[in-house]
Chain A
Amino acid sequence: DVKVTQSSRYLVKRTGEKVFLECVQDMDHENMFWYRQDPGLGLRLIYFSYDVKMKEKGDIPEGYSVSREKKERFSLILESASTNQTSMYLCASSFEGRSTDTQYFGPGTRLTVL
Chain B
Amino acid sequence: DAGVIQSPRHEVTEMGQEVTLRCKPISGHDYLFWYRQTMMRGLELLIYFNNNVPIDDSGMPEDRFSAKMPNASFSTLKIQPSEPRDSAVYFCASSLNGDQPQHFGDGTRLSIL
Q: Does A associate with B in a complex?
A: no
Binding site for B on A (CB under 8 A): none
Binding site for A on B (CB under 8 A): none
